[in-house]
Structure 1
Amino acid sequence: MKKAIQLIDQDLTRFEEYFSKAVKSNVPLLDRIMQYIVKRKGKQMRPMFVLLSAKLGGEITTTTYRAASLVELLHTATLVHDDVVDESTERRGFFSINALWKNKVAVLVGDYLLSKGLLLSLNNNDYKILQILSEAVRQMSEGELLQIEKARNLNLSEEVYFSIIKGKTASLLSSACAAGASTTFCEEKNIEKMQQFGEKVGMAFQIKDDLFDYSAENIGKPTGNDIKEKKLTLPLIYTLNNCAPTLRKKIIYIVKNENRDPEKVGFVINAVKNAGGIDYATKKMLNFRDEALALLHEFSVSEIRDALEDLVRYTTDREY
Structure 2
Amino acid sequence: MGMNENVSKPLDRLSNELASDMAAVNTLIRERMASRHAPRIPEVTAHLVEAGGKRLRPMLVLAAARLCGYQGDSHILLAAAVEFIHTATLLHDDVVDESEQRRGRPTANLLWDNKSSVLVGDYLFARSFQLMADTDSMEVMRILANASATIAEGEVLQLTAAQDVTTSEDTYIQIVRGKTAALFSAATEVGAVISGTDKAVQQALFDYGDALGIAFQIVDDLLDYGGSTTVIGKNVGDDFRERKLTLPVIKAIAAADAEELAFWQRTIGKGQQDDSDLETALATLQRRGALDAARADAIAWAERAKSALKIAPDHELRMILSDLADYVVSRLS
Shorter-chain TM-score: what band? over 0.9
Distance 1:313 1:61, change over 3 A: farther
Partner of 1:261: 274
The one-letter code matched in structure 2 to 1:238 is: K
Report the equivalent of 2:51. Answer: 40
Correspondence for 1:83 among 94, 99, 122:
94
Q: In the alignment, is the contact (CA less than 8 A) between 2:165 and 2:253 conserved in 1?
A: no
> For the structure 1 residues 138 and 159, does the alpha-carbon distance in structure 2 shift closer, same or farther, using more than 3 Å as the test?
same
2:253 matches 1:243: no
Residue 133 of structure 2 corresponds to residue 100 of structure 1 = no
The answer as to 2:58 corresponding to 1:51 is no
Offset at 1:57? 0.4
Determine if the alignment matches structure 1 residue 16 to structure 2 residue 26. Answer: yes
Higher relative contact order (CA 8 A, sep 6+): 2
- 1:145 alignment partner in structure 2: 156
- Contact 2:65–2:194 at 8 Å: present in 1 too? yes
Instruction: Out of 218-227 and 165-174, give the one that drifted further.
Output: 218-227
Instruction: State whether structure 2 residue 163 is matched by structure 1 residue 156.
Output: no
Identity within the alignment, % = 32
1:206-260 per-residue CA deviation (whole Å, 9 max, x = no partner) reads 1001001111522211111112222111111111111222212222212234555
For the Cα contact (< 8 Å) 2:181–2:214, is it kept in 1?
yes
Q: Distance in 1 between matches of 2:205 and 2:298?
A: 19
The farther-off stretch of 203-212 and 120-129 is 120-129
Q: CA 1:232 to 1:194, structure 2 compared with 1: closer, same or farther past 3 Å?
A: same
Provide the rounded CA distance (Å) in 1 between the counterparts of 2:115 and 2:204: 40
Pairing partner for 1:177 from 179, 185, 188: 188
Q: What aligned pairs does 1:254-293 form with structure 2 within 5 A after superposition?
A: 254-258=267-271, 260-293=273-306
Q: Which amino acid aligns with 2:303?
A: D
Deviation at 1:154, TM superposition (A): 1.9
Closer, same or farther in 2 for the Cα pair 1:60/1:313, shift >3 Å?
farther
Q: Does 1:222 align with 2:232?
A: no
- Separation in 2, partners of 1:71, 1:113: 10
Distance 2:13 2:46 in 1: 29
CA contact (8 A) 2:219 2:329 kept: yes
Alignment of 1:50-69 (within 5 A): 50-69=61-80
- Provide structure 2 residue ranges, at least 5 long, that are not aligned to the other structure: 1-10
In 2: Cα distance, 1:319 partner to 1:35 partner: 30
Return the TM-score normalized by structure 1: 0.95
Q: Deviations over 1:101-152 (max 9, x none)?
A: 1001111000000011111222442322221111111111111111111224
What is the aligned-residue RMSD (CA, Å)?
1.7
Partners of 1:170 and 1:203 within 8 A in 2: yes
1:231 to 238, 244, 257: 244
Contact 2:163/2:270, CA 8 A, preserved across alignment: no
Go from structure 1 to structure 2 and tell me whether the alpha carbon gap of 1:92 and 1:245 turns closer, same or farther (over 3 Å shift): same
| AA matched with 1:272 | L
CA distance 1:252–1:120, shift in 2 (3 Å) = same
Q: Per-residue deviation at 1:90?
A: 1.3
- Structure 1 Cα separation of the partners of residues 155 and 29 of structure 2: 26
Counterpart contact for 1:254–1:265, Cα < 8 Å: no
Q: Determine the C-alpha separation between the residues in 2 that align with 1:162 and 1:38.
A: 28
Q: Would you say how many aligned residue pairs link Structure 1 and Structure 2?
A: 320
Q: What is the CA-CA distance between 1:300 and the residue it aligns to?
A: 3.9
Deviations 1:250-291 (A, max 9, x none): 222122345553311221122112210010000011101101
Unaligned runs of 5+ in 1: none
Tell me which of 300, 305, 308 is aligned to 2:321: 308
Structure 2: distance between partners of 1:29 and 1:287: 43
Distance 1:124 1:297 in 2: 29
Query: How many angstroms apart in 1 are the aligned matches of 2:184 and 2:227?
Result: 27
C-alpha contact (below 8 Å) 2:219/2:332 kept by paired residues: no
Counterpart-to-counterpart distance in 2, 1:224 and 1:259: 15
